[in-house]
Structure 1
Amino acid sequence: MKNYIAVASLLAFAFSGSVVAAKATPKPESKPADDAQYKKILSDGYFSKSQCDTYIVKLALPEQGVIKSASRALLVEDSLVYITGNNSTSTVTGDFVGVFPASGLTPNPALLKAHKKLGTGNGYIARYTSDTFSEQKVKDALTARNAVQGNYAKKSEQREGVNDYLFCKVAENVLGKGEDANTYKDYVAYASLRTKAADVGYFNISADSSYYGKSVNTGNKFAEPKKWDGSRFFVIRAAFKNLDTESRLPVAGSLFINYNGKDYEFDSVEPIMLEGYNIWFKKINPLITMKTKIVYRIPDEIHGEVFWRPGRNPSDTKLWLGYINAAKQK
């Protein structure tokens, strides 16, 4: 799991490039409204006038460009960590959301809505990419930003200006202004396609977890499918709840792996004759949930993002299973 750069925590480290864990980080003991950095940004008000550049005018033009470019990736990540994290996650975006009302300001309602919808964890940020954001772009942004502060911002007011500029841009973003104010919407669309449960036909279906390897690990050597050179198994721990008023038959469906830009479909299920595996034309009574393991044979070489499309699926709904690595060669 990637370590996310929380801008609020970077302030505590004087933007040294240190990072914080991807899981929620505790809020500092002092409230953001009491922090001099936030008070300064709110008092200056440049963020509400699209005048954040004021903070870096004492840098040479080339360095101003570096700071502007680097700050984009950092503020986008901060906003993504905010919308996917819970209320204890430490972000500058979340802090400004909290202090705006006392100053008579209203945070962007759409941003708050996105946070309410996705604020259950860190989601898929580690794999997400856009024109302005990726894990590598964030790393490059920190490197470039630190280089300016270390090599070109000789005066303390210049170094402080670099920090103030970033906080100003985040505040502008929270207000719903600036070139990246709506960038999070692309992530919301991206995340909405990566759900682990959905109503499909007559059933509510969930992919509770999955695993892959050279063995299925049934615990029964007679039921264990045979190993083939160059292949392994992908196992889905699935649950089917019948939402209809009569018994219905679920269908396993297909596994999809996006490998080298192509979607590969695996629709042949391993015939494991053991309780708790596959479906075997077994109907489920109304409002009953059946849990089972569905097993697909896949090639060793394949790697990428994995989805499962359950059968009898008029909406073509796919459930997200994460990512798979290529098998290690012996």
Structure 2
Amino acid sequence: MKKNLRHVISASALALFVFIAFGSMDDEGDSSSSSSSTTVSADNSAKAKQVGETLSTRYFDVTVNKVALQDRVNTGNEFADLKREDGNQYLIINTTFKNTDGESRMISDGEVVINYNGKDYLFDKSETVMLEGWGTMLDQLNPLTSKTTNLVYKIPTEIKGPAYYRPGRSNSDDLIAIGNIE
């Protein structure tokens, strides 16, 4: 009973911290919110950076180094691995964030947009992998420092089409083309 109570209190404290941290982020009411538009038009897909190219956003230089599509996530730690799930696959995006601002900034995962049968589908929830080098989990970077991490998104196996990564806290037209999901 005490162990369960401790877990509830810890989870509540973490939730409160996340609420406060995200509430204090300085977006100054501009268009840096990526949820302002989920459509990938022909115009902004043509301007999209490619894997290996650096995308400069308001606070960060973001580079997608490598992309993989797998039926499970093997981290090297069996307790943190994501197991195979029928009907789903994992999109793993190895990404480097460099803080180009003059003060520390929190990084966030971002979202994947996949055009399937003429409709854009937004995958804005990444999977939680509790290991260093997997996800951004409330990470904050000091000015001119970098972090490379693996972002994991669960997507249905039926989905096919061109895919784009939009970093967190970036403009709606800040895209990196990550390939064609097949």
Cα distance in 2 for residues equivalent to 1:284 and 1:220 = 26
Structure 1 equivalent of residue 28 of structure 2 = none
Note the C-alpha offset of 1:191.
Answer: 4.4
Larger strand percent? 2
User: Aligned-pair RMSD on alpha carbons?
Assistant: 2.0
Matched, 1:228 2:85: yes
Q: Pairwise mapping of residues 74-153 of structure 1 onto structure 2 (< 5 A)?
A: none
Question: Larger radius of gyration, structure 1 or 2?
Answer: 1
Cα distance in 2 for residues equivalent to 1:314 and 1:259 = 22
Cα distance in 1 for residues equivalent to 2:74 and 2:119 = 29
Higher relative contact order (CA 8 A, sep 6+): 2
Matched, 1:289 2:146: yes
Q: Is the 8 A contact 1:253 1:310 kept in 2?
A: yes
Structure 2 equivalent of residue 193 of structure 1 = 48
Structure 2 equivalent of residue 202 of structure 1 = 59
Cα distance in 1 for residues equivalent to 2:128 and 2:44 = 37
- Seen in structure 2, the aligned counterparts of structure 1 residues 292 and 263 have a Cα distance that, compared at 3 Å, is same
Ranges in structure 2 where 5+ consecutive residues have no aligned partner: 1-42
SS in 2 for 1:278: coil
Cα distance in 2 for residues equivalent to 1:190 and 1:252 = 20
Note the C-alpha offset of 1:227.
Answer: 2.6
Q: Is the 8 A contact 1:307 1:322 kept in 2?
A: yes
Matched, 1:307 2:164: yes
- Seen in structure 2, the aligned counterparts of structure 1 residues 302 and 315 have a Cα distance that, compared at 3 Å, is closer
Q: 2:104 aligns with which of 247, 250, 256?
A: 247
SS in 1 for 2:106: coil
Cα distance in 1 for residues equivalent to 2:100 and 2:44 = 27
Note the C-alpha offset of 1:190.
Answer: 6.4
Cα distance in 1 for residues equivalent to 2:124 and 2:44 = 27
Q: 2:94 aligns with which of 210, 217, 237?
A: 237
Cα distance in 2 for residues equivalent to 1:258 and 1:192 = 16
Note the C-alpha offset of 1:241.
Answer: 0.3
Cα distance in 2 for residues equivalent to 1:259 and 1:291 = 29
Q: Deviations over 1:28-68 (max 9, x none)?
A: xxxxxxxxxxxxxxxxxxxxxxxxxxxxxxxxxxxxxxxxx
Larger helix percent? 1
Q: Is the 8 A contact 2:60 2:101 kept in 1?
A: yes
- Seen in structure 2, the aligned counterparts of structure 1 residues 219 and 307 have a Cα distance that, compared at 3 Å, is same
Structure 2 equivalent of residue 318 of structure 1 = 175
Structure 1 equivalent of residue 33 of structure 2 = none
Note the C-alpha offset of 1:226.
Answer: 3.2
Cα distance in 1 for residues equivalent to 2:68 and 2:45 = 23
- Seen in structure 2, the aligned counterparts of structure 1 residues 190 and 217 have a Cα distance that, compared at 3 Å, is same
Cα distance in 2 for residues equivalent to 1:190 and 1:283 = 29
Q: Deviations over 1:106-132 (max 9, x none)?
A: xxxxxxxxxxxxxxxxxxxxxxxxxxx
- Number of aligned residue pairs: 139
Cα distance in 2 for residues equivalent to 1:244 and 1:195 = 23
Note the C-alpha offset of 1:319.
Answer: 0.8
Matched, 1:298 2:159: no
Cα distance in 1 for residues equivalent to 2:169 and 2:107 = 8
Percent identity, aligned pairs only, is 41
Cα distance in 1 for residues equivalent to 2:129 and 2:71 = 15
Q: Is the 8 A contact 1:200 1:315 kept in 2?
A: no
- Seen in structure 2, the aligned counterparts of structure 1 residues 243 and 190 have a Cα distance that, compared at 3 Å, is closer
SS in 1 for 2:105: coil
SS in 1 for 2:50: coil
Note the C-alpha offset of 1:259.
Answer: 0.8
Structure 2 equivalent of residue 217 of structure 1 = 74
